Structure 1
Amino acid sequence: MTTRRPDPPARASAGAPSRRTPAAYVRAVVALGANLGDRRATLDAAVRELDRLPLTGSVVCSEPLETVAVKLDGPDADAPAYLNAVALVETRLAPTVLLGFLQAIEQRHGRVRRERWGDRTLDLDLIVYGDVVSDDPRLVLPHPRAAERDFVLLPWLQVDPDAVLPGHGPVAALVAGRGAR
């Protein structure tokens, strides 16, 4: 499920960037999940769509991890199991613009937002956008529950063993500190 494109072009190192010099790429971490329909095909299609986003360089995705569905009060053994993955996306899109593209991809795959913790054909969460910290109600960064979610942390470590969750520290330490669940 790994997609790679050439590394983003380097910025000119001497002097101020010209108007033609593209903005620097930022690494965004996107969590993918699906528990309805052909989960693997949906995740694969979503990664291909991430790879085709404008102003985006490389996209690297973990292998999917099957997990039990989780509701607000804990595991939901009655719900279909999820496939979860994490994609690292090198992008020049602003965080809110990237979020808009993620929501459009979800909609193309039949995502319906009826209940907050409901089953879904596709869920794309923006976990981290570089080192941006935001408490804007439209986009909280880093994702407020990422540190608690092994279905995010474990696949993230797969594609970035040195990952750091801003405000929480190394992802490996978060997982090791409580044992993978």
Structure 2
Amino acid sequence: MKKILVISSNPRRDDNSDTLCARFRAGAAEAGHEVAEVLLGDLRIDPCLGCGNCSVEGGVCPLQDDMAHLASRMVGSEVIVLDTTPRACAMGGPMKNFIDRCCGCRHEIRAKEFCILLTAAGRDVWQAERTVNRLRGFVGSFDSSPLKGIVCDAARRPGASGSEQPLQEACELGRSC
């Protein structure tokens, strides 16, 4: 059994991104994994100040928000799932902000598996590719952290998945963690 943390930057509830995450969680639960989900929109994560305090040995971020708690949850997990939708040529703002703030906890998060769940409108393939590339770069910044899998659903309307295939892939990815 593994501890899995799903970090979702989806700003809306009950849409395609939630459906994809739900299928992942269902597959993980079927395999006996412990799954928790965090919605970035429900947290207060302030923008990075760029002060560099977190980069210094023993340095502490001066911001007093929800990031320290989220970082400790990441450290306590074996698998971290990043769920986002492409916005403005990359991932949405909450995910970008979260990634910036991970600078201070990067060295504590080692030997984790990462998964990416992405819901992109069907015609925005180039945005999906750019988002995945940026998330790959983020995952690559952690020492020895493999990218376990990527699932992308290309649906246009909320509540209408692009096809059943990505939902099945998300379920299988959850099982295989």
Task: Tell me if both proteins adopt one fold, taking TM over 0.5 as the criterion.
Answer: no
Higher Rg of the two aligned structures: 1
Higher relative contact order (CA 8 A, sep 6+): 2
TM-score normalised per structure 2: 0.30
TM-score normalised per structure 1: 0.29
Higher fraction of helix: 2
